[in-house]
């Protein structure tokens, strides 16, 4: 049987995605009530980080600990990955010693090559192209605040980046409308947009994108690895800030999300980020913990 990995959201079907969100909500309640069984006892998660992280590392590590398992942090600086050992060799070695692997890296091909040689499930914890774990938490958060996302309208304001690509995948899988507003030259992957058909629209106007939107979301102008482009991007993204004025053009009771870390007064105003009547970013961050625990339950049981 082929091993089930989670490299993009499209590795799940709609039912499986919804099942993970339902379990995440249940596991969140269980965690709050202090009733958690050590279902991962004896299990080890290998965590490979080639980029920085706060939320992803803490949520995976805490999640494993809460369920009785262990997590190993591996960075290129102190493993042979940083000294040129091929990813295919690293995959064959690491996956003989751990039960599940999580990778944050640059090119998506790196994680695909690791998965091809891995004996255990591999989770994408962010590549330059996708960030599917964040989308599990985001959909969980929307569901908790506003119910099912199916048939709703989401506005993505900003760069057509890894988060935007995962939002497109979510729109395809969960059947909602996604309005993307981005400056010229910062569009998401054209093939993915074509696959999404009329669920996805691209505009240059943030105001047009948020019209009728139940959720407005954004991300930094320069992602990890693009730090040298920060200044030029600041100029190109002028007019793309999400703030109270823009939110007032969205649907009544629209909420705001950001995967974090946020750059206040760049892609989002400080006032909006801190406005807990609209901004659900702290719930969104917390839900990484619960959504990923549910994802690991799914992958570990799908692969027995
Ligand atoms: N949102 C997110 O993935 O955050 P970190 O980079 O802190 O892991
Ligand atoms: N687009 C951002 C997301 C960080 C969680 C990045 O890749 O840096």
Confidence of residue 2 (pLDDT cuts 50, 70, 90): confident
Q: Which ligand is nearest to the CA of 54?
A: 1
What's the domain range around 159? 134-284
Does position 1 have pLDDT exceeding 90, yes or no?
Answer: no
Same domain as 297, residue 278: no
Which residues are catalytically annotated? Answer: 104, 131, 134, 219, 259, 288
Kindly state the average pLDDT of the residues 4-8: 98
Contact between residue 169 and residue 156 where contact means Cβ atoms under 8 Å apart: no
Report CA(42)–ligand 2 centroid distance (Å).
32
Residues 155 and 274 in one domain: yes
Q: What is the pLDDT of residues 263-297, one digit of tens each?
A: 999 999 999 999 999 999 999 999 999 999 999 99
C-alpha–C-alpha distance, residues 168 and 174, integer Å: 10
Q: Which residue ranges have their beta carbon within 6 Å of ligand 1?
A: 53-56, 126, 134, 259-260
Same domain, 60 and 191: no
> Total structural domains in the chain?
2
Domain-located, residue 216: yes
Distance between CA atoms of 158 and 250, rounded to whole angstroms? 16
At 302, is the pLDDT very low, low, confident or very high (cuts 50, 70, 90)? confident
State the angle between helix axes of 162-174 and 14-32 in degrees (0 to 180), rounded to the nearest 10: 110
Specify which residues 179 forms β-bridges with.
155, 201
- Of the residues 55, 103, 128, which should be mutated to test ligand 1's pocket, given the most ligand atoms within 8 Å of the CB? 55
Q: Which two tokens stand for residue 28?
A: 């969140």
Taking residues 56-76, what's their average pLDDT?
97
Which tokens go with 18?
């919804």
Cα separation of 27 and 145, whole Å?
A: 17
H-type helices in 33-107, by residue range?
Answer: 55-66, 87-94
**Residue 127 DSSP code:** -
304 — pLDDT class (breaks 50, 70, 90): confident
- What is the per-residue pLDDT across 146-201, written as a single tens digit (0 to 9) for each? 999 999 999 999 999 999 999 999 999 999 999 999 999 999 999 999 999 999 99
The residue with tokens 């990923």 is: 292
Tens-place pLDDT, residues 202-248? 999 999 999 999 999 999 999 999 999 999 999 999 999 999 999 99
pTM of the model: 0.98
Structure confidence at residue 303 (pLDDT): 75
Shared domain for 98 and 154, answered yes or no, is no
Looking at the structure, tell me whether residues 152 and 120 fall in a common domain. no
Q: Are 223 and 150 in contact (CB under 8 A)?
A: no
Ligand 2 site residues, Cβ closer than 6 angstroms: 126, 131, 161-163, 219-220, 223-224, 259
Q: Flag whether 153 is in a domain.
A: yes
Residue 3 lies in a domain: no
Same domain, yes or no: 119 and 143: no
CATH number at residue 72: 3.40.50.1370
Cα 151 to the center of its chain, rounded Å: 21
Ligand 2 atom closest to the CA of 162, numbered from 1: 1
Co-location of 82 and 148 in the same domain: no
Look at 23 and 302; give whichever has higher pLDDT. 23
Sequence-ordered alpha helix ranges (H) in 156-203: 162-174, 190-196
């Amino acid at each position: 049987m082929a091993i089930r990995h989670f490299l993009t959201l499209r590795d799940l079907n709609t039912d499986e995605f919804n099942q993970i969100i339902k379990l995440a909500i249940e596991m969140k309640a269980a965690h709050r009530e202090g009733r958690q069984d050590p279902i991962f006892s004896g299990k080890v998660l290998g965590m490979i980080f080639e980029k920085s992280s706060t939320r992803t590392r803490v949520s995976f590590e805490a999640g494993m600990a809460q369920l009785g398992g262990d997590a190993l942090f591996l960075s290129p600086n102190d493993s042979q990955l940083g000294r040129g050992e091929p990813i295919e060799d690293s995959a064959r070695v690491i996956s003989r010693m751990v039960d599940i692997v999580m990778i944050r890296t640059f090119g998506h091909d790196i994680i695909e090559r690791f998965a091809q040689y891995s004996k255990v499930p591999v989770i994408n914890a962010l590549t330059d192209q996708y960030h599917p774990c964040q989308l599990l938490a985001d959909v969980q958060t929307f569901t908790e605040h506003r119910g099912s996302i199916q048939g709703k309208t989401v506005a993505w304001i900003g760069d057509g980046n890894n988060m935007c690509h995962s939002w497109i995948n979510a729109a395809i899988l969960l059947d909602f409308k996604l309005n993307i507003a981005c400056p010229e030259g910062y569009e998401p992957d054209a093939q993915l947009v074509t696959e999404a058909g009329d669920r996805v629209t691209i505009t240059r106007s943030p105001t047009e994108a948020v019209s009728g939107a139940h959720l407005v979301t954004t991300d930094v102008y320069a992602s990890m690895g693009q730090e040298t482009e920060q200044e030029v991007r600041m100029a190109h993204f002028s007019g793309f800030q999400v703030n109270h004025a823009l939110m007032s053009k969205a649907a009544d009771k629209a909420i705001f999300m950001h995967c974090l870390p946020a750059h206040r007064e760049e892609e989002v105003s400080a006032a909006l980020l801190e406005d807990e009547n609209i901004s659900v970013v702290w719930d969104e961050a917390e839900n990484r913990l619960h959504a990923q625990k549910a994802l690991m339950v799914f992958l570990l049981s799908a692969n027995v």
